[in-house]
């Protein structure tokens, strides 16, 4: 790493500027990326001035959005969608990471919004901004410095959230299912067939483990009990509603797992666990099948619609779909599991029933 004419600024072998300097008893260290010398010096001068103000006049350095983002991730390890939040924050960081919290508002977020809108839906952009809004609210209302002063001393700004059309569920007809699954790679086709017969969410399928299987000898079958929080290949993965999830296997789902032989995970690809079902193989298959609008989560909607079409009562559907309830869902007797199993098998009855779509 080569030193530059300004003490504390160095240039790495890849041309990135790195700051490592002590000022007023505080170490300033930051990798700035591929910027020129003048930009690096301006950044360092700004940081040194903040420390000088704090030293001479008792003004504390303004908290940056990056600091707030790190604290949010650290303070909320139990959040079910922490991976997704971290992904949004990674996208936001190059745009607002170095800004002080009071500098984050519609105007400074506008370049990020414009750029993201070129490639993703308004709903996806909105989710990023919702993360920003949550962090700003915490900085203003909850987080405090040692002297009791809030991280954000002003009221959090009202952010303009992009409005997009809400994506409605798209349950598959049996013909569409056959068309789509026929285009999927074998490992994805197995997972999709299992999902459409159990109503599991994507991360519940990809993380499904044999250790969660429990025999029910009275019925000569087995069920899975997915723990509320199971970790795995995505940090903090778990059941969405934070309740243990009972998974009843109808005849089709049972046949699917009988072909799976990995010692730990039920579903694998080339003997390794799968991270996502919504990958290139899924997206290519749905295009080839002429169903580009179908999402992985629509398989869960399909299972729910078929249960309803088969006349399965709402309470039973809620259990089979893993919806939140006040009951401890893992406490079931063999006769109760038998009733659930009978209901899950009734989805096959809907093969001869017409699916009508209402077109807006």
**Residue 322 Ramachandran class (φ > 0 left, ψ -120 to 50 alpha, else beta):** left
Residue scoring higher pLDDT (309 or 324): 309
Which H or E element spans position 345? helix 334-345
Could you give the 3-state DSSP secondary structure of residue 229?
A: strand
What's the whole-number mean pLDDT along residues 15-28?
Answer: 80
Residue 296 has pLDDT above 60, yes or no: yes
Concatenating the DSSP letter of every residue in 11-34 gives E-TTS-EEEEEEETTEEEEEEEES
Asked if 219 contacts 338 with a C-beta cutoff of 8 angstroms, the reply is yes
Contacts 24+ apart (CB under 8 A), 224-231: 224/249, 225/330, 229/78
Quick check: 205 and 191 in contact, CB under 8 A? yes
Q: Under DSSP, is residue 75 helix (H, G, I), strand (E, B) or coil?
A: helix
Q: With contact defined as beta carbons under 8 Å apart, do 192 and 265 qualify?
A: no
| Distance (Å, whole) CA 312 – CA 321 | 12
Half-sphere exposure of 229 (CA within 13 A, CB side): 9
Q: How confident is the model at residue 235 (pLDDT cuts 50, 70, 90)?
A: very low
pLDDT band at 233 (very low <50, low <70, confident <90, very high): very low
Lowest mean pLDDT among 53-67, 91-105, 126-140, 303-317: 53-67
Alpha carbon separation from 33 to 18, 36, 48, 108 (Å, rounded)? 7, 9, 19, 21
- What's the pLDDT at 30? 76
Mean pLDDT of the chain: 86
**Rounded average pLDDT over 130-147:** 91
Q: What is the dihedral of CA 339, 188, 322, 88, to 10 degrees?
A: 180
Out of 20-24, 159-163, 222-226, which region has the weakest mean confidence (pLDDT)?
A: 20-24
Q: Cα torsion at 195, 196, 202, 204 (round to 10°)? A: -40
Task: Write down the pLDDT at residue 71.
Answer: 93
Question: In this predicted model, what pLDDT tens digit does every residue of 150-175 receive, in sequence order?
Answer: 888 889 999 999 887 667 889 999 99
């Amino acid at each position: 790493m080569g030193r530059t004419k300004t003490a504390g600024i160095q240039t790495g072998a890849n041309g990135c500027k790195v700051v490592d300097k002590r000022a007023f008893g505080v170490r300033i260290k930051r990798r700035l990326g591929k910027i020129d010398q003048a930009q690096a010096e301006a950044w360092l001068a700004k940081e040194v001035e903040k420390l000088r103000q704090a030293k001479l006049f008792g003004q504390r350095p303004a908290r940056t959005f990056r600091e707030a983002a790190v604290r949010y991730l650290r303070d909320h390890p139990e959040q079910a969608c922490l991976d997704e939040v971290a992904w949004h924050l990674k996208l936001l960081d190059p745009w607002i990471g170095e800004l002080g919290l009071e500098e984050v508002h519609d105007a400074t977020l506008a370049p990020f919004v414009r750029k993201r809108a070129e490639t993703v839906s308004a709903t996806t952009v909105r989710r990023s901004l919702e993360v920003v809004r949550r962090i700003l609210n915490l900085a203003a209302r909850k987080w405090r410095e040692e002297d009791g002063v809030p991280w954000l001393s002003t009221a959090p700004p009202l952010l303009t959230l992009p409005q997009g059309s809400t994506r409605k569920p798209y349950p598959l007809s049996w013909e569409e299912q056959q068309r789509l699954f026929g285009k999927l790679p074998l490992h994805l086709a197995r997972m999709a067939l299992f999902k459409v017969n159990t109503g599991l969410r994507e991360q519940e399928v990809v993380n499904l483990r044999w250790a969660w299987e429990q025999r029910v000898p009275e019925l000569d079958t087995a069920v899975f009990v997915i723990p509320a929080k199971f970790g795995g290949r995505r940090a903090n993965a778990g059941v969405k509603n934070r309740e243990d999830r009972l998974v009843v296997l109808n005849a089709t789902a049972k046949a699917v797992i009988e072909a799976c032989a990995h010692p730990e995970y039920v579903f694998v690809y080339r003997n390794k666990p799968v991270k996502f079902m919504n990958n290139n193989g899924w997206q290519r298959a749905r295009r080839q099948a002429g169903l580009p609008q179908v999402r992985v989560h629509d398989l869960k909607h399909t299972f729910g619609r078929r249960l309803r079409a088969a006349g399965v009562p709402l309470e039973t559907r809620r259990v089979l779909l893993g919806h939140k309830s006040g009951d401890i869902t893992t406490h079931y007797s063999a006769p109760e599991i038998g009733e659930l199993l009978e209901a899950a098998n009734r989805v096959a009855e809907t093969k001869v029933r017409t699916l009508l779509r209402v077109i807006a």
